[in-house]
Amino acid sequence: MMFLAAAGALIAAMVLALARAFAGPTVYDRILAVNHIGTQTVLLIAVMGFITGRPDFLDISLLYALINFVATIAVLRYVKRGRSTADKES
Amino acid sequence: MLHAVGLFAVLFGTWILLSGHFTPFLLIAGAVCAALTVAITLRMDLLDQQRDFVGPVWRLPLYWLWLAGQIILWSLIVARQVLAPRLDIDPVLQRLPCSQRSDLAKVMYANSITLTPGTVSTDVGDGEIEVHALTRAAMEDLKSGDMDRRVSATEAKRTKAAAADAP
Amino acid sequence: MILDILSWISIAIGAFFVLVGGIGIWRMPDLFSRMHPAGIIDTAGAGFLLLGLLLQSGDWLVSVKLVLIFVFLLFTSPVATHALAHAALLDGLKPWTRRRDKARDKDGEP
């Protein structure tokens, strides 16, 4: 029961962050929002594992935490790189 | 060399903790994977060289406990500000001095600042650190230098050799 | 039984902090002030949620994995936030401040 409430809170927060990812004026707002949607997904997968009674989900959760970090750094590098090459071309 | 053995032990320990199976095949596979990772790390020269700054390690858990208390305290404060009907925030961006000597302690200090809700470190320089704070109170709390001192306390004491080495 | 109650309380606190973080991400005026409520999700929200799950687990393998998830989050989230703030500052983004907002109010703009 408590797990369902936690999952509901996580999904609500994810919707709010998703709205920010759509609305965010700068690209960095979007990256921040997506990064935290990823964090909330990690928690949601862990909670889902407990709801369904299959702790194997935690492995996926662990992996997602690492991929989320690498993805954020990669996107940041891409944004910076893209900006600088665009400057050179113009 | 000791460092490489330590890395192997940590990697192999992580393998065992994550797998939870103790069949010979999986244990050997884990050892091979860990050894391969250590070999690649040595080949890429990624082991860090600043070994003379590692200080009293037993102080770290104490620091983490203090940090956890700090995080909960500031989480409540920031949560109150987020939920307030009228936003009562006053962000400031400022450079603060920091007294850490090793890169590791500096990273620890910057990460502690970022982990504490209400303050985010935005740039780490030589002897100073740029911080964005949500309110003036958060900035004042950081300016008191309490966290700075506690991080520095986990570093090694300044030995004569290190003092002669450092400018 | 006591463990159950403790874990429920912990999960409830964690869910509350996660919600606060989500609201903060939506509500704050600019990128830098948005990072602070977002930090609540990574530290207090994740911490209390995983602590609550930890009290329910009852299996050492599951407990170790929960602790590892928390440790990874603690190591990666400040680095990602720092990189984001640093990149935004280098890109010339100016933090929102109260004074500038007042000046804008005087000019009659919303």
Chain C residues within an 8 Å CB radius of A39: 41-42, 46, 73, 77
Mutate to test the interface with C, among A1, A2, A80 (most CBs of C within 10 A): A2
**pLDDT exceeds 80 at position B57:** no
CB contact under 8 A, A50 and C53: yes
**B16 & B66 share domain:** no
Dihedral of CA atoms C35, C37, C40, C41 in degrees, nearest 10, equals: -80
Domain that holds residue B23: 2-44
Q: Cα B93 from chain centroid? A: 22
Give mean pLDDT, residues B122-139: 86
- Tell me what pLDDT residue B167 has: 38
What is the least distance, in Å, from the CA of B156 to any CA of chain C?
A: 22
Contact map slice: A 15-74 vs C, CB within 8 A: 15-17, 19-20, 26, 28-29, 31-33, 35-36, 39-40, 42-43, 46-47, 50, 55, 58-59, 61-62, 65-66, 68-69, 72-73
Q: What is the pLDDT of residues B1-10, one digit of tens each?
A: 777 888 889 8
**pLDDT exceeds 70 at position C103:** no
- Tell me what pLDDT residue B163 has: 46
Roughly what angle, to the nearest 10 degrees, separates helices C31-40 and C2-27?
170
The structural domains of chain C, with segments of one domain joined by +, span 2-106
Give mean pLDDT, residues C49-74: 88
- Tell me what pLDDT residue B51 has: 57
**B12 & B74 share domain:** no
Number of domains in chain A: 1
CB contact under 8 A, A69 and C93: no
A43 touches C46 (CB < 8 A): yes
B99 touches B93 (CB < 8 A): no
What is the least distance, in Å, from the CA of A48 to any CA of chain C?
A: 11
**pLDDT exceeds 80 at position B38:** yes
Q: How confident is the model at residue C13 (pLDDT cuts 50, 70, 90)?
A: very high
What is chain C's length?
110
What is chain A's length?
90
Of B147, B115, B109, B144, nearest in space to B129 by CA:
B109
Cα dihedral C86, C91, C94, C96 sign: negative
- Tell me what pLDDT residue C108 has: 40
- Tell me what pLDDT residue C18 has: 92
Q: What is the CATH number of the domain that holds A56?
A: 1.10.287
Domain membership of residue B49 (yes or no) is no
CB contact under 8 A, A62 and C87: no
Cα separation, C69 vs C61, whole angstroms: 12
Mutate to test the interface with C, among B108, B134, B142, B151 (most CBs of C within 10 A): B134
Q: How confident is the model at residue C107 (pLDDT cuts 50, 70, 90)?
A: very low
Chain C residue with minimal CA distance to A7? C15
Chain C residues within an 8 Å CB radius of A68: 76
CB contact under 8 A, B91 and C97: yes
C37 touching chain A per CB within 8 A: no
- Tell me what pLDDT residue B32 has: 93
Longest dimension (CA), chain C: 63
First to last CA, chain B: 29
DSSP structure class, residue B157: P
Instruction: Report the share of chain C in percent with pLDDT over 70.
Output: 89
**B28 & B83 share domain:** no
DSSP C32-43: HHHHHHHHHIII
DSSP structure class, residue B23: -
Number of domains in chain B: 2
Chain A residues within an 8 Å CB radius of C77: 39, 69
Domain membership of residue B53 (yes or no) is no
Q: C95's torsion region: left (phi>0), alpha (psi -120 to 50) or beta? A: beta
Q: How confident is the model at residue B60 (pLDDT cuts 50, 70, 90)?
A: confident
Give mean pLDDT, residues A54-65: 88
**pLDDT exceeds 90 at position A81:** no
Query: Which residues, at least 6 apart from A72, have a Cβ–Cβ distance to it below 8 Å?
Result: A31, A34, A35, A38, C80, C83, C84
Domain that holds residue A50: 2-89
B41 touches B7 (CB < 8 A): yes
- Tell me what pLDDT residue B61 has: 86
Q: How high is the ipTM of this complex?
A: 0.82
B124 touches B112 (CB < 8 A): no
Mutate to test the interface with B, among C18, C30, C32, C33 (most CBs of B within 10 A): C33
**Total Cβ atoms within 10 A of residue B104:** 15
A8 touches C70 (CB < 8 A): no
Mutate to test the interface with C, among A27, A39, A56 (most CBs of C within 10 A): A39
DSSP A12-47: HHHHHHHHHHHH-SSHHHHHHHHHHHHHHHHHHHHH
- Tell me what pLDDT residue B157 has: 62
**B34 & B99 share domain:** no
Query: Tokens 């984001």, residue?
Result: C84
Domain membership of residue B166 (yes or no) is no
* Cβ-based contacts under 8 A for chains A and C: 139
